[in-house]
Chain A
Amino acid sequence: MASNSSSDRQRIAQQRLRIIAGHLQGPVDSDSTILAAECKAQGSKTDVSSERKTVPRRRQEILKWNGWGYNDTRFLFNKKGQAEFTGKRYRLSGMIIPALQNWFEGTFGASMQHKSPAMPILTSSAVQPPTLNEAFVDELKSTGIPFSHDAEDRVFRGHGHCLHEVFALREGKVGRVPDIVVWPNCHNDVVKIVELACKHNVCLIPYGGGTSVSSALECPPEETRCIVSLDTSQMNRILWIDEKNLTAHVEAGIVGQELERLLNESGYCTGHEPDSMEFSSLGGWVATRASGMKKNIYGNIEDLVVHVKMVTPQGVIEKGCQCPRMSTGPDIHHFIMGSEGTLGVVTEVTMKIRPMPEYQKYGSVVFPNFEQGVACLREVAKQRCAPASIRLMDNEQFKFGHALKPQVSSIFTSFLDGLKKFYITKFKGFDPDRLCVATLLFEGDREKVLQHEKQVYDIAAKFGGLAAGEDNGQRGYMLTFVIAYLRDLGMDYYVIGESFETSVPWDRVLDICRNVKARIIQECKDKGVQFSPLSTCRVTQTYDAGACVYFYFAFNYRGLSDPVHVYEQVEHAAREEILANGGSLSHHHGVGKLRKEWMRETISDVGMGMLKSVKNYVDPKNIFGNRNLI
């Protein structure tokens, strides 16, 4: 057993490395505009990582400037009209996806003939020259902290991944962007930068992984001061690991996959895996109250954090000990978590870690309809036996997932697929236009996983569910990884879309799913969208008292004069519908500037007053001036 488990662990470690490795080959920094005089991180002697891989300062060298993810990875339709996923990074990379074109054309009424390509390169003339605060720049130079006011660097940090942001970039349109980008290398660098910013009254906007989908990174157009983007990406070390208490002290700029990779090398993990973990940063998670796919075992970010250090205009805020729980008035961590960069910069975090799981197993269950599926998830939550992850995709998303099946190599596999389909639809009488699928991920020691698996499948059976194999499950999770790449493909063919999320009490789950999807379809129709949109959802997390629901929505915008405006109106209507149906403003994406208008009704007048008075005390001059949240 022991040898078995250690080989399993090795296998998993390798697998993880394979998935993650090579994502971030940091090319040698050779930008002459950057003053490279790195400070030494404190405790770097105990730096556990053997091999340092960082996101480079010039992100554009490996990442797209006007789309999602890596430069070398994208979907395209080849000359034969077949969809292909380029690059080598993912399981799906280099594969042909035969069904995608049909699904794409059928779902959106799109056509291979009608392309809407993006501007290939950024014209520097589109970018306004920086507004520089000379005194600040002079003093910053003297600290030796690297910075840049190169147009590309600035543009890259002026946006997140909201549809309107990416759409504008593809058209080569650039609004207000930061004037300077600065790369602190450690906590002390940040302290210096914040001091200088206060002294010279410049506006600071923290930047982590840049994966925001709440307009949080947008520079407020009314901001007249010099805006400095504080890019934490170079603060990416694990400073120590405490094996006695199972915690790790980590710099906040580290991105998810890097954190896991480094911890895995020591046999640990955090288990925190938001869908954006390839690019999003620890500091970003804390600042937005992030949630991970496997929260059922490991918890959300608020459960994982033991200690946080944040630099504010008033100084550094942190607790005096690393205790598991305290009764010392309101938890100051809750001022920090979800503050969305309005109060300061998170620089270092102590996080819980866990030994890497010995065994992982995917699974899936098909239900005759969504109602039954939700009933099953509710029962699983009631019995508190949810696996590491359990997600229920609706019929549309199930079909979407199916369209992403790579070409099968053998006739035998396709024969088997046909047989499965026959069994489910004909023999079991499932309506192919109603059935839906739950994807599962179990984690732990092998025996317990198998036992757990049986328990969950038994519950599922009570709700008419049929086990549908590991493959379907795994593909479901892959979908969330590549969905953002797919959006870029859509945008090449007049299709725009976005995802958004909410959390809602159990008794409302079905209602909110139905109503929000229907509202999207109706709004699109009312706004003159020619072809019925893709409007789909999944129940993506379960809690004792409710669930998190995730919506995708996309449509073909041919014939619309202002597609982004239409898109925004529909998204706005969808959010109104969510709130009217008892859903939350956000489960994990945050508020940013996109959802600010609903904050007052969400947290009450007094709540707003509390947040504002904290802001006024901590940052009276609005140095952290991204104007998110309140």
Chain B
Amino acid sequence: MTNTYRDSGRAGLENAEEFVDMLEKRRCSSDLGHALRTYSPSPYEGALSCSTADLNKAVLESQYLRYVTKEIATETGSSVEDVRQEVCRILEEMSQNLQLGSIRLMAYTLTKVLKRLFTGIFVNMEGLNMLQQAIQESPVILMPNHRSYVDFLVISYILFTYDIPLPVIAAGIPLAGMKMVGEILRRSGAFFIRRAIGSDKLYWAVLSEYVKTIVRKGFAPLEFYVEGLRSRTLKSQIPKLGMMHMVLEPYFKGEVYDITLVPISISYDRVLEESLLAHELLGIPKPKESTTGLLKATKVLQEDYGNMHVNFGRPMSVRRLCQGKINRGQYNLIPRDLPQKPSAETQACVSGLANLMVRIQEEGSLISPWSLMACLLLQAPTTVLTQEGLLWHQLTEKTLWLRKLALDFGARLNWPGQVPDLDVMSSTVTLHRSVVHLKAGRVYLVREEEPARKHPISPELDVIRTAAAVLMLASYRNQSLHVFVRPAMLATAIRVTKSAQRDELFAFFCFLRDIFSNEFIFIPGKSSQDFEEACFLLNKCGAVDISEQEVIVSDARLEVLSFLQALLQPFIHSYQVMFRYLCEDGVNMFTEKQVLPAVRNLATKLILSGELHTYEALSSDTQKNVLSALQRLETVTKLRESEQNEYRVNKAAVRRIGDILSGEISPQMLQTTPDAKL
């Protein structure tokens, strides 16, 4: 296997027996007893105890903040004392106040809520044991993926239950604004970060010193979402690097011997926010985080959300990961407290690590039967799903076929073994009755009830109605995309280039990788490894034969290639729609706010005219990803002076990219060598 991280992320999860349902015990013993349990974790051996006040004092008095304070005072002309006051305010707004009492309260409430929501919460004990060990040896960073608001305290809850030191958690500032809840979260270890810090130098400095001090002192693990935000598509998101820099800097500067990163994969059978997310993607804004909103949401408590799997990955030493990539001596000639930009080498290393962590989160997540079924359902024409219905036995047969393929590709399935396969699938469909329903041997897509009114609803609104359902389905498909995406890109390359030459395929593969660099997670600079992996997997399942120069399609398993090609189709089509919009005459300069509804209109028109078959083109997430990818390829440029995020587009270049994607010209026509830029 070319990918070394494959094994490292996997905490011996080959057999599901290692997963223990932690709700089982809660169901047969007192919740209060659990909340009041004796809690005596073993913390990091090098740490001295550190209260909230100690922590804040250390941050306030840090040499680094003193430098920055002085600098800002000079720049803005205000007095050092004023700036210092501002630092105190920021710190007060930010700081956590972890207290065991609150944790107990939280544990009590969570037990109640979680028991109601989930059938089981499965945790891999081996991963937990390794974590327990790792926490004693060096400062630990917990890095879960973020798929639901439920994620937020679940890690703390698990650690509390298993006697492991509780983390302090980076949270978005909107949570702090919630009455009561904000304070409870603060006391449960959350510290709050403003969104869109942008160029607020002082805020940035306080936050970074705060995070670094937590890591240096090592009194508690630090938990943060490397993806930044909750994923609206259930697909992994491109990692945000700011926090990652802060977390790793104490190692780069020799302030700690090592830092341990623990990737955590949380997988849901069914996500609480499923329909909310789909609507958000269609431009219907999410409700603001508020306590009343939370209380209103209690109706979600009535429903069944199946199981939740929390997989603690193998702890990874930053020291080992950075070997040969970072020259720690770079700080020898300047005081380490002096504010300075990270070197290019450091940035590359941090970005590589962040992406690696997300990849490991992907590898560590469990794929449900439902996700496989969603892959297949989406490959049926939408009209079939909404009108005629898809034959159930076809779907089940195909699902079993796909299960085999997924296993061949090294996926980790969450497929109950003791139950007949058919029962598994039908109970899956029952669990997801909000998306599909089974009637008379056929499966139908569930759309929102038509509002009762006299006139039939407009065709445009009807498209949105279907799109909401399709996007929900798509997000469940996205849960397993990472398993198939590399082979699917190769399959697409084979289809588009109609070539068997390795180098030609590789060129197109790299092109796809660049185009989709914001859609899927690729570790920068590892394109040939990705390509090798794709070849290996396709060869393994018998779809292609590989020689030194060529990749030859073997006729025996064409269905693999066509499945994989179809898997990427919605993305390719959506991208083409976006390209088409950008090449339209009127479009030269635009803001993000203008572009999203405009593209949505264009896509709706195309769907209605029968030119476009995928409803996914309506997703704002895809549209944003295209913008970012084009920016990275320097075909779209953000105007610096503009306040409203204005963009300028290079139409010729966009057209060229579109032509390459549809196979009309070869990827060599893209002048830039994109991989070098990553």
Chain A residues at the B interface, C-beta cutoff of 8 Å? 369, 371, 507-508, 511-512, 514-515, 518-519, 579-582, 601
Task: Say whether B336 faces chain A, with CB atoms less than 8 Å apart.
Answer: yes
Whether the pair B332, A518 counts as a contact (CB closer than 8 A) is no
Contact between A515 and B48 (Cβ–Cβ < 8 Å)? Answer: no
Chain B interface mostly helix, strand, loop or mixed? loop
In the assembled complex, B335 has its CB within 8 A of some CB on chain A: yes
Does B258 sit within 8 A of A, measured CB to CB?
yes
Q: How far is the CA of A519 from the CA of B327 in the complex (A)?
A: 16
User: Hey, which chain A residues are within 8 Å of B48, CB to CB?
Assistant: 369, 371
What residue in chain A is nearest B46 (Cβ atoms)?
A: A514
Residue of B nearest to A369 (CB): B48
Q: Is the pair A512, B254 in contact by a Cβ cutoff of 8 Å?
A: yes
Q: How distant is the Cα of A508 from the Cα of B332 in the complex, in angstroms?
A: 10
**Residues 238-256 of chain B: 1 if any A CB is under 8 Å from the residue's CB, otherwise 0?**
0000000000000000110
Q: Which of A371, A511, A512, A519 has the most CB of B within 10 A?
A: A511
When distances are taken between beta carbons in the complex, the residues of chain B under 8 Å from A511 are 254-255
How many Å lie between the Cα of A581 and that of B257 in the bound state?
A: 10
* Alpha-carbon distance A511/B337, docked complex (angstroms): 14
Is B329 touching A579 in the complex (CB atoms < 8 A)? yes
Q: Scoring B residues 314 to 327 as 1 if CB is less than 8 Å from chain A, else 0, what string do you get?
A: 00000000000001
Q: Min CB distance, A535 to chain B, in Å?
A: 12
Least Cβ–Cβ distance between A436 and chain B, in angstroms: 14
In angstroms, Cα B333 to Cα A601, docked, is 13
Indicate the member of B46, B254, B328 with the most A CB atoms within 10 Å.
B254
**B residues bordering A, Cβ < 8 Å?**
46, 48, 254-255, 257-258, 327-329, 331-332, 335-337
A507, B257: Cβ atoms under 8 Å? no
**What's the Cα separation between A483 and B48 when bound, in Å?**
32
Contacts of B327 in A (CB 8 A): 580
* Residue of A whose beta carbon sits closest to that of B319: A522
13 A–B contacts, CB within 8 A, in A order:
A507-B335, A508-B254, A514-B46, A515-B257, A518-B258, A579-B329, A580-B254, A580-B329, A582-B254, A582-B329, A582-B331, A582-B332, A601-B329
Known pairs A580-B327, A582-B332 / 16 extra A-B pairs, C-beta < 8 Å = A369-B48, A507-B335, A507-B336, A507-B337, A511-B254, A514-B46, A514-B257, A518-B257, A518-B258, A519-B257, A580-B254, A580-B329, A581-B254, A581-B328, A582-B329, A601-B329
Chain A residues with Cβ below 8 Å from B258 are 518
Chain B residues with CB under 8 A of A580: 254, 327-329
B61 CB → nearest A CB, Å: 14
Contact count A vs B, C-beta below 8 Å: 28
A519–B258 alpha-carbon span in the complex (Å): 10
Q: CB-nearest residue of chain A relative to B250? A: A511
Give the chain A neighbours of B337 by CB distance below 8 A: 507
Q: Is the Cβ of B254 less than 8 Å from the Cβ of A515?
A: yes
Q: Which residues of B contact A369 (CB under 8 A)?
A: 48
Report the minimal beta-carbon distance from B131 to chain A, rounded to whole angstroms: 19
A55 to chain B, nearest CB (A): 41
Residues of A within 8 A of B254 (CB): 508, 511-512, 515, 580-582
When C-beta atoms are compared, the residue in chain A nearest to B337 turns out to be A507
Return the chain B residue nearest A515 by Cβ. Answer: B257
Closest CB in chain B relative to A378 CB, distance in Å: 14
In this complex, what residue of A is CB-closest to B255? Answer: A511
User: How far apart are the CA atoms of A369 and B45 in the complex, in Å?
Assistant: 13
- Bound together, the chains give a CA A369 to CA B47 distance in angstroms of 12
Q: How far is the CB of B496 from chain A (nearest CB, A)?
A: 47
A178 to B332, CA, bound (A): 40
Find the residue from A512, A514, A582 having the highest chain B CB count within 10 A: A582
Q: Complex formed: what's the CA distance from A580 to B252 in Å?
A: 9
Bound: A580/B336 CA distance, A? 13
Question: What separation, in Å, do the CA atoms of A292 and B563 have in the docked complex?
Answer: 77
A515–B329 alpha-carbon span in the complex (Å) = 14
Residue of B nearest to A580 (CB): B328
Residues of A within 8 A of B328 (CB): 580-581
Q: How many Å lie between the Cα of A581 and that of B251 in the bound state?
A: 10
Q: How far is the CB of B406 from chain A (nearest CB, A)?
A: 37
Residue among A507, A512, A581 with max Cβ neighbours from chain B (10 Å)? A581
B326 (CB) vs chain A CBs: closest residue: A580
Q: What chain B residues lie within 8 Å of A581 (beta carbons)?
A: 254, 328
Contacts of A507 in B (CB 8 A): 335-337
Chain A nearest CB, measured from B251 CB (Å): 10
Min Cβ gap B229→A in Å is: 35
Residue of B at shortest CB range from A512?
B254
**Closest residue of A by beta carbon distance from B333:** A582
Give bound CA distance, A573 to B257, whole Å. 14
Question: Closest CB-CB distance, A368 to chain B, in whole Å?
Answer: 10
| Shortest Cβ gap from A464 to chain B (Å) | 12
The smallest beta-carbon distance between B258 and chain A, in angstroms, is 7
CB of B331, distance to nearest CB on chain A (Å): 7
* A371 partner residues in chain B, CB cutoff 8 A: 48
The chain A residue sitting closest to B252, CB to CB, is A580
**A518 CB contacts on chain B under 8 angstroms:** 257-258
Residues of B within 8 A of A515 (CB): 254, 257
In the bound assembly, the distance between CA atoms of A515 and B255 in angstroms comes to: 8
**Cα A627 to Cα B115 with chains together (Å):** 74
Task: Give CA–CA (A369, B328) in the complex, Å.
Answer: 27
CA gap between A371 and B46 in the complex, in Å? 11
Q: Which residues of B contact A582 (CB under 8 A)?
A: 254, 329, 331-332
Q: Which 10 A-B pairs have the closest CB atoms?
A: A580-B328, A518-B257, A581-B254, A582-B332, A511-B254, A515-B257, A580-B329, A511-B255, A515-B254, A514-B257
Residues of B near A579 (CB, < 8 A) are 329
**Shortest CB distance A373–B (Å):** 14
Q: How distant is the Cα of A369 from the Cα of B48 in the complex, in angstroms?
A: 10
Tell me the bound Cα distance from A519 to B336 in angstroms: 21
* CB of B33, distance to nearest CB on chain A (Å): 33
**Cα distance A519–B254 when bound, in Å?**
12
What separation, in Å, do the CA atoms of A512 and B332 have in the docked complex? 12
Interchain nearest-CB distance for B147 vs A (Å): 36
Give chain A nearest CB distance to B248 CB in angstroms.
Answer: 15
When chains A and B are docked, how far (Å) is the Cα of A507 from the Cα of B258? 18
CB distance from A474 to the nearest CB of B (A): 31
A579 CA to B333 CA in the complex, in Å?
A: 12
Contacts of A514 in B (CB 8 A): 46, 257
Docked Cα-Cα span, A582 to B332, in Å, equals: 5
B residues in contact with A508, CB < 8 Å? 254
- The chain A residue sitting closest to B331, CB to CB, is A582
Q: How far is the CA of A581 from the CA of B332 in the complex (A)?
A: 7
Residue of A nearest to B137 (CB): A518
Q: Please, how many angstroms separate the alpha-carbon atoms of A518 and B46 in the complex?
A: 11
CA distance A515 to B328 in the complex (A): 12
Residues of A within 8 A of B336 (CB): 507
How far apart are B571's CB and chain A's nearest CB, in angstroms? Answer: 44
Interchain nearest-CB distance for A424 vs B (Å) = 18
Give CA–CA (A581, B327) in the complex, Å: 10
Q: In the docked arrangement, what's the CA distance between A559 and B386, Å?
A: 71
Least distance between B101 CB and chain A CB atoms (Å) = 26
Closest to A601 in B: B329
Nearest A residue to B63 via CB reads A507
Instruction: Determine the distance from Cα of A387 to Cα of B337 in the docked complex, in whole angstroms.
Output: 30
Complex CA gap A507/B336 in Å reads 9
Whole-angstrom CA separation of A508 from B327 in the bound complex = 16
- Complex Cα gap A369–B329 (Å): 28
Give min CB distance, B178 to chain A, whole Å.
39
Q: How far is the CB of B25 from chain A (nearest CB, A)?
A: 36
Say how far B221's CB is from chain A's closest CB, in angstroms. 19
In whole angstroms, how far apart are the Cα atoms of A582 and B335 in the complex?
Answer: 11
| CB of A531 to closest CB in B, whole Å | 18
